[in-house]
Structure 1
């Protein structure tokens, strides 16, 4: 990969980090309201995703949840098709994913226990949403699948664990439209004041959501 493109990527990430540091995060607009449904923002390295209780998903949304009959929770993340599915992505895949807009996939994992048990300390933030905002967030997730006229999207590949699957997704991935931006847009669809431009990095997103929710400890 030419050095100039690498420098451009580094500069873009630096700008996003500065934006995240300078961002004044608004308060949670649902503070004080009766919460109805929990949503978890989960972080794994550079990547973020969302987790919900499978039993909270209403009929007509996310029919792909039927692919995980033994799961109590579902974790959903979005990413570059080639990079996300690679077991050991190399530098070339990493740079291509960031610099060249390409097709995307969703990774859905079935979890048997609370999300905090699957991630590191400080990597799980619980947000409690009223019913209507929660449904808008699920609608955003639902609309992220490519269904091609069928009611339930088929998996396109096994996931990175035995309890996960990849699905074709809407949208094209690049450095300014990555997994963290996708997560921020889902929260914004729910009415939270997330700023996608300041969520290009996982840390930029986490600095926002920690103001609206509770960082959950890893279970003993």
Structure 2
């Protein structure tokens, strides 16, 4: 597994922090009324899986609202889907190197989504990863599903599949977003959670450790190994 796939590396992190104050949208509030789930309200489980430099979001296929994420049909029989995102050049390179990371951090580049389908318990499938478990309301999860759905570049109703992914039953898909200094993989993941109501500031979550810590402290996440 390529554990540093397409994310911001420490060489670029200092530049990112120095320019952060210029981003006017950094402190946007999450949607109202989505988080936390009300007492006794049905909830949907979410898993955040650390891969070293970035994190993947794992959801249950059965919880996906009808009409969203048609890419799930590419993983018949899978109970879970993991979603990751990053710079296309780095993710797809057979021999990624620091030059890819610098280019991805300093200049806007195209991006891809990485989707993995599996059925084992999440902790068993990622036995060496730090995992954070959290729960969203059904409305929050539906909003997150719509956000994820809108990240795919599609031709008609079909996503553009590029090649097999990094591990297991996985695929790369073309994304409609641009990777750049203010839109790195951990920031992207934080935005997905923010769309569901998680009260974190995406722009401040540039490292995977910071992201997981924010999810635990601000969104009631529970760390599992």
TM range (shorter): 0.7 to 0.9
CA RMSD of aligned residues (A): 2.7
Instruction: Specify which of 177, 188, 205 is matched with residue 171 of structure 1.
Output: 177
Structure 1 residue 10 displacement after superposition: 4.7
Give the secondary structure class of the aligned counterpart of 1:55: helix
Cα deviation per residue 1:41-68 (whole Å; 9 max; x = unaligned)?
1110111121100111122000000000
Give the secondary structure class of the aligned counterpart of 2:142: helix
TM-score (norm. length: structure 1):
0.83
Query: In the alignment, is the contact (CA less than 8 A) between 1:78 and 1:104 conserved in 2?
Result: yes
Cα deviation per residue 1:84-132 (whole Å; 9 max; x = unaligned)?
1224311211211111210010000012212222335662111111111
Runs in 1 of length 4+ with deviation above 4 angstroms?
A: 13-17
Structure 2, unpaired ranges of 5+: 1-8, 21-33
TM-score (norm. length: structure 2):
0.81
Residue correspondence of structure 1 range 1-220 to structure 2 within 5 A: 9-13=12-16, 29-30=35-36, 33=39, 34-119=41-126, 123-148=130-155, 150-211=156-217, 212-218=219-225
Query: In the alignment, is the contact (CA less than 8 A) between 2:35 and 2:136 conserved in 1?
Result: no
The answer for the alignment partner of 2:27 in structure 1 is none
Query: In the alignment, is the contact (CA less than 8 A) between 1:146 and 1:169 conserved in 2?
Result: yes
Structure 1, unpaired ranges of 5+: 1-5, 18-27
Q: Aligned pair count? A: 204
Cα deviation per residue 1:5-27 (whole Å; 9 max; x = unaligned)?
x998352256599xxxxxxxxxx
Query: In the alignment, is the contact (CA less than 8 A) between 2:134 and 2:222 conserved in 1?
Result: no
Query: In the alignment, is the contact (CA less than 8 A) between 2:35 and 2:140 conserved in 1?
Result: no
